[in-house]
Structure 1
């Protein structure tokens, strides 16, 4: 997982005639010795290379970068400590961001960065993983290994830090899996749910909310009428004795006397009640359309 460095920065590094050329910034800048040489090229009388150790151990890294941080603070050079910490631990994109910021400060120029190789501020391998195929991407345990370095756990051994970092990495890997499932439904054989299949169709561009309201009102009225017709036909087809028929007719007459309305398609008042029960206020639809 090698992040690309701008060509202007590579030319700038070659012009400094460093003792050890920077080929892969992620590894060549981790111990701080090469970065101390960059500072020595601009401040030869204030940076002594004899005080820096060219080693790979964690103690050599922390010792060199502590001296560099003291010099940066004394000279008031606006170098980000986040970039330095990411470079010490070998995080993805940390050394490249540090070189870009140093190049801009010392040369007063801005390097061109390809938009396809933009790096995130959280120093993870997300930009690298998204360019791979689904079967090439890292799984959960590999994501933890790539984004949580051993040196981070040594320098900050608190359980709260480990828990937070692990939870963030696991949550990001979960989001990546969900996104890959949404982007490639055929690969995972995802079938739409019942709620997704029952969604209403959107309004056509040439129609308005009032037109939709009138059409839906007519369809609801037809459905309500068909329901009453079916219920009446079912009642007529049911086999009932004459005594039960007389009993029910007397009960319906008794209810009518109390003021109840009997289901009858020829009754206009009954039709109006059914339509009102299945209708939606037009003002609500107009407010939704306006918003």
Structure 2
């Protein structure tokens, strides 16, 4: 059996790909972000380890938001009975096809079911944005603020959570990360952005001169008195 991962970069370690292919799933995963979003393959993976709890007849291999939510609700209920939990951020990110979310979730499931720890599990922030991808692009090709919102806020997220305040907070977080990235770009490439040095940066800082240091030490040095000099001073005072 060929255990080589797809030519398209998947973000999964080789041992995780070998494990997935050894399960002989009904659908051979090629696009991790798309193939795991509805939860069907996740339920199939768990069915190999807990066949009495995961009946694939209860899951629909559809692509609609309602299908995804229904499948994942069932999965989470079964896992709660098993006293097993997956990161909620990874699940939500996988449902909405956020960058890196499905990869992190699959690695989490692999470590959980095989009791093996892999060092390549993604440890980046759990907001699952395209920040890493943007950092790899030349500055002229990086997204604007409006494009960053479009890239990192899925329509399915808005449909799943129609609360306007929640959506506004997500937008504010995206803009904040975008501004921080831009600020970092400006600090790394001040000439490109015509950033002028501040007055403090322009000021010349000279080291203290040796003459000034020596004179200061003479002024601040306290006289030392011996016992003999104290006796002379006391006798003079008595006179």
Question: For this structure pair, what is the TM-score category when the shorter chain's length is used for normalisation?
Answer: 0.7 to 0.9
Following the alignment from structure 2 to structure 1, what is the Cα–Cα distance between the partners of residues 66 and 14?
A: 32
Q: CA RMSD in A?
A: 2.5
Match of 2:5 in 1: none
Match of 1:214 in 2: 213
Match of 2:155 in 1: 150
**Is this contact kept in 2: 1:32–1:65, CA < 8 A?**
yes
**Is this contact kept in 2: 1:119–1:127, CA < 8 A?**
no
Q: Secondary structure at the match of 1:143?
A: helix
For normalisation by structure 1, the TM-score amounts to 0.66
Match of 1:196 among 181, 196, 201: 201
For normalisation by structure 2, the TM-score amounts to 0.79
Does 2:102 align with 1:103? no
Following the alignment from structure 2 to structure 1, what is the Cα–Cα distance between the partners of residues 181 and 175?
A: 10
Match of 1:77 in 2: 84
Displacement after TM superposition at 1:4 (Å): 1.1
Match of 2:137 among 120, 132, 140: 132
Work out the number of aligned pairs and report it: 210
Match of 1:17 in 2: 24
Match of 2:34 among 4, 8, 27: 27
Q: Secondary structure at the match of 1:185?
A: coil
Runs of 4+ residues deviating >4 angstroms: 209-213
Match of 2:176 in 1: 171
Match of 1:36 in 2: 43
Q: Secondary structure at the match of 1:22?
A: coil
**Is this contact kept in 2: 1:89–1:151, CA < 8 A?**
yes
**Is this contact kept in 2: 1:30–1:90, CA < 8 A?**
yes
Following the alignment from structure 2 to structure 1, what is the Cα–Cα distance between the partners of residues 102 and 211?
A: 59
Following the alignment from structure 2 to structure 1, what is the Cα–Cα distance between the partners of residues 50 and 215?
A: 79
Displacement after TM superposition at 1:3 (Å): 5.3
**Is this contact kept in 1: 2:25–2:44, CA < 8 A?**
yes
Following the alignment from structure 1 to structure 2, what is the Cα–Cα distance between the partners of residues 190 and 54?
A: 53
Match of 2:166 among 161, 164, 167: 161
Q: Secondary structure at the match of 1:109?
A: coil
Displacement after TM superposition at 1:199 (Å): 5.3
**1:34 to 1:194, Cα distance in 2 relative to 1, 3 A:** same
Q: Secondary structure at the match of 1:182?
A: helix
**Is this contact kept in 2: 1:3–1:93, CA < 8 A?**
no
**1:210 to 1:149, Cα distance in 2 relative to 1, 3 A:** same
Radius of gyration: which is bigger? 1
Following the alignment from structure 2 to structure 1, what is the Cα–Cα distance between the partners of residues 10 and 211?
A: 54
Following the alignment from structure 2 to structure 1, what is the Cα–Cα distance between the partners of residues 29 and 211?
A: 67
